[in-house]
Amino acid sequence: MIGTGYVGLTTGACFAKIGHEVICVDNDSNKIETLNSGKMPIYEPGLHDIVKEMVTAHRLSFTTDIKTAVHNSTVCFIAVGTPPRGKGEPDLAYVENVAREIATSMEEYLLIVEKSTVPVQTHKWIRTTIERYNRTGTPFDVASNPEFLREGSAVNDFLNPDRIVIGVESDRASDLMKEIYKPLNAPIVITDSASAELIKHASNAFLAMKISFANALAVVCEASGADVHQVTCGMGMDKRIGPSFLDAGIGYGGFCFPKDLRAFIHIAEELGYDFKLLREVENINNEMKLRFIRKIQSVLWNLQNKNIGVLGLSFKPDTDDMRFAPSIDIIAELVHKGAHVRAYDPKAMERARKIIPGIEFCSKAEDVAEDADILLLLTEWSEFKQLDLTKLKKRMRVPIICDGRNMLKRTEIEKQGFTYLGVGR
Ligand code: UDX
């Protein structure tokens, strides 16, 4: 497994868990050192235990030495980053470098699997690169095996997938991939490589579209006196629609949706299609953050010198990931408008400190309420449901809660004497 980010590390550890021997490779020696000393570079529920167990069972190891890893492997997964460049097109330099290193290291048949989210046709470039740089004519196959892991539930998503998508060009590769995933006993979809690459983009874009649909609907609900939660529950009961990914709020964040959507729009454009629908999905998502600020202003009037308590910073609960978290833009705007922000997050404080300047971080959730003119809920961590509202109210200057994730029950909050603002309700 080349690359020990969220995807590589989770996939590698879980492959070991289901019975394989896995060598995880990364060129970041600090990361490998951290892993070899028994620590985790990321927080992902359940992952640390699996890593410990598998290292002890000698089925999982970590190294910076790609050559030895390739020599000792039958299948080599590429799970390195594909960060966005200027216009959102993914930077594939890391993928190419790894393909070249594999090419110069392999001595026997190798199945090379792209796990990173890459533009359609990348498998062809991997194939060409390996053909060019492997001078010994070693036989190989290239397959595409996109991941659908969600941060915070990545282990469970790996072990209980809705489907496993495998794009292959040969029976040998297909058989190997099926064998690898056999212990999971999950539905396997075998396609050509280009289709597998597109399944990943299409799935993420469709999910982002569902969220933006719910958010646009929230605006209409708010204006008409309807409750978006009730509307999406009613819609979601139609099996053709489904109930998930229809939660309105301050919009999606994280390292996948924003980046993958940009990349897919760019890929479509390169292929001659202007995917306007997806541009609008992005616009709606960005707009939700601005609308949230306006909502705060609608109750506080001026933000200059107002004290604002923020609960939740990570882009979603059960992760310490701050990448493209809506909280970043929202807080930046509040600070820009002269507000004093106090914030708390159960897991993401360390990462948040590095990227959100000009605010105070509190070590307890209750402390953000001190002298606050409003409390904002930006990530739906379940522990926020247990907060003692009476205590919070006593510490606040004005008891207003603005719930950016529609997590709290309006009636309960109002019963405690708070003014409650949700999104689309
Ligand atoms: C996503 C995909 O779900 C996963 O299949 C892919 O492999 C990687 O990208 P992830 O980014 O971990 O996973 O998070 P996800 O749980 O999908 O949530 C993404 C964002 O959408 C979060 O910011 C979340 O708060 C937001 N969201 C999700 C909503 O605003 N409303 C919803 O109804 C669902």
Q: State the pLDDT confidence band at 90, using cuts at 50, 70 and 90.
A: confident
Atom of ligand 1 nearest to the CA of 379: 25
For atom 3 of ligand 1, which residue has the closest CA? 150
Q: State the pLDDT confidence band at 391, using cuts at 50, 70 and 90.
A: very high
Which residues, 6 or more positions from 387, have their beta carbon under 8 angstroms from its beta carbon? Answer: 311, 365, 366
Ligand 1-lining residues (CB < 6 angstroms): 147-151, 204, 207, 211, 245-247, 249, 252-254, 256-257, 315-316
Q: How far is the CA of 251 from the centre of ligand 1 (A)?
A: 10
In this predicted structure, the answer to whether residue 84 has a pLDDT above a threshold of 90 is no
The per-residue pLDDT for range 349-375, each reduced to its tens digit, is: 999 999 999 999 999 999 999 999 999
14, 257, 321, 406: residue to mutate for ligand 1 pocket, most atoms within 8 A of CB: 257
Average pLDDT over residues 416-422: 96
Atom of ligand 1 nearest to the CA of 246: 33
The reported pLDDT for the residue numbered 120 is 87
* The dihedral formed by the CA atoms of 61, 63, 66 and 69, expressed in degrees to the nearest 10: -20
Atom of ligand 1 nearest to the CA of 204: 2
For atom 2 of ligand 1, which residue has the closest CA? 150
The reported pLDDT for the residue numbered 314 is 96
Q: Collapsing DSSP states into helix, strand and coil, what is residue 17?
A: helix
How many Å apart are CA 106 and CA 207, to the nearest integer?
38
- Mean pLDDT over all residues of the chain? 96
Answer with the residue of higher pLDDT: 256 or 63.
Answer: 63
For atom 7 of ligand 1, which residue has the closest CA? 148
Q: How far is the CA of 257 from the centre of ligand 1 (A)?
A: 7
For atom 25 of ligand 1, which residue has the closest CA? 316
In this predicted structure, the answer to whether residue 63 has a pLDDT above a threshold of 80 is yes
The reported pLDDT for the residue numbered 117 is 86
The reported pLDDT for the residue numbered 89 is 83
In this predicted structure, the answer to whether residue 88 has a pLDDT above a threshold of 80 is no
The reported pLDDT for the residue numbered 43 is 85
Phi-psi region of 19 (alpha: psi -120 to 50; beta: other; left: phi over 0): left
Atom of ligand 1 nearest to the CA of 260: 9
Q: State the pLDDT confidence band at 85, using cuts at 50, 70 and 90.
A: confident
The reported pLDDT for the residue numbered 185 is 96
pTM above 0.85, yes or no: yes
Which candidate in 14, 24, 221, 256 is catalytic?
256
Active-site residue flag, 256: yes
The per-residue pLDDT for range 275-285, each reduced to its tens digit, is: 999 999 999 99
Which residues, 6 or more positions from 266, have their beta carbon under 8 angstroms from its beta carbon? Answer: 87, 88, 89
The per-residue pLDDT for range 324-349, each reduced to its tens digit, is: 999 999 999 999 999 999 999 999 99
Residue (of 190, 187, 195) closest to 177 by Cα position: 190
Q: Are 161 and 185 in contact (CB under 8 A)?
A: no
The per-residue pLDDT for range 111-147, each reduced to its tens digit, is: 999 998 888 889 999 999 999 999 999 999 999 999 9
The reported pLDDT for the residue numbered 274 is 98
- Residues of the chain with pLDDT > 70: what percent? 100
β-pair partners for 374: 308
Q: How far is the CA of 282 from the centre of ligand 1 (A)?
A: 14
Q: State the pLDDT confidence band at 210, using cuts at 50, 70 and 90.
A: very high
For atom 31 of ligand 1, which residue has the closest CA? 247
The reported pLDDT for the residue numbered 118 is 87
The reported pLDDT for the residue numbered 402 is 98
Torsions phi, psi of 306, nearest 5? -80, 145
Q: Are 418 and 400 in contact (CB under 8 A)?
A: yes
The per-residue pLDDT for range 178-205, each reduced to its tens digit, is: 999 999 999 999 999 999 999 999 999 9
115, 207, 231: residue to mutate for ligand 1 pocket, most atoms within 8 A of CB: 207
